[in-house]
Amino acid sequence: MQAAGWRNFKLVVAYEGTAYHGWQVQPNGITVQEVIQGALQRLTGAATVVHGSGRTDAGVHARGQVASFRSRTGMPTAELARGLNALLPADVRVRSLAEVEPGFHARKSARSKTYLYCIHNHPVADPFSRRFCWHLRRPLDAAAIIQAAGCLVGTHDFSSFKAADGETRSSVRTMFNVRCRRRGAYLLLLFKADGFLKNMVRVMVGTLVEIGAGRRPPAEMPAIIAAVDRRAAGRTAPPHGLFLRTVHY
């Protein structure tokens, strides 16, 4: 496969997920991977597979999704980046594009990822953040959320927070860090782990919100994790509050 003239590229991509059926190409609707591959093909004249660091669900956003692709194009990187942004729709932007060593692969080389979940906790919704935050009217107890979120840190089997249809060999992941910050009426939840199962952040957030609303005590979290059973955790938070923020290499 590897021929003379093959180059390997790393893309950092931001997208508003509202209009997309997620990252990965699928038959049911338009995806971010698909529009990037289409733009690359128009630009370079060759069908190109773009590998993302991982899938994002329908409606989920990304500030720093990373993707890699191989191409024989002779275009300078700055020209490729400008050309892609000229062809891509306004809700998908290439933030940076660099030529990287042949061994780099967006998914296989990733060491960890950070996701951000944004909650707008206020009696009245905000027209400007409605596409980017889960709006919850009732006041949430941030201290209870922080206490429960702390239990997620460490190496656990996260099966309780995995979508029922998520097929992965092992459900063990290491959560390096969970941070919860209040910014006025906004509650920002940051999760950094070596990997995430399908829907994992959204189920964690749905569970933390039930704790913040006083429907479960924060001390229940270790038992929810230990149950290794999706039914032990809370509902799945909606996709539009979720951002893939950074992929770490």
**Residues contributing to the site for its own copies (CB under 8 A):** 14-16, 61, 63, 85, 90-95, 124-128, 130, 132
Residue placing its CB nearer to its own copies in the complex, 32 or 204:
32
**Residue 61 C-beta: closest distance to its own copies, Å:** 7
**Residue 85 C-beta: closest distance to its own copies, Å:** 7
Angle between helices 77-87 and 32-44 (to 10 degrees): 120
**Residue 130 C-beta: closest distance to its own copies, Å:** 6
Structure tokens that stand for 121 in this block: 């906790």
Q: How many angstroms from the chain centroid is the CA of residue 189?
A: 13
> Where do the DSSP E strands lie in the chain?
7-15, 51-52, 61-71, 92-100, 112-121, 134-136, 154-157, 172-183, 186-193, 242-248
Residue placing its CB nearer to its own copies in the complex, 202 or 240:
240
**Residue 19 C-beta: closest distance to its own copies, Å:** 10
**Contact by Cβ (8 Å): 64, 53:** no
Active site residue 57: yes
Residue placing its CB nearer to its own copies in the complex, 92 or 178:
92
**Residue 150 C-beta: closest distance to its own copies, Å:** 29
Partnered with residue 189 across adjacent β-strands are 117, 180
Residue placing its CB nearer to its own copies in the complex, 92 or 175:
92
Residue placing its CB nearer to its own copies in the complex, 92 or 200:
92
212-to-137, 141, 236 alpha-carbon distances in Å: 12, 5, 15
Active-site entry in 57, 157, 194, 229: 57
For the chain, give the number of residues. Answer: 249
**Calpha distance 249→244 (Å, rounded):** 15
Tokens 């429907």: give the residue: 215
Residues carrying an active site annotation? 57
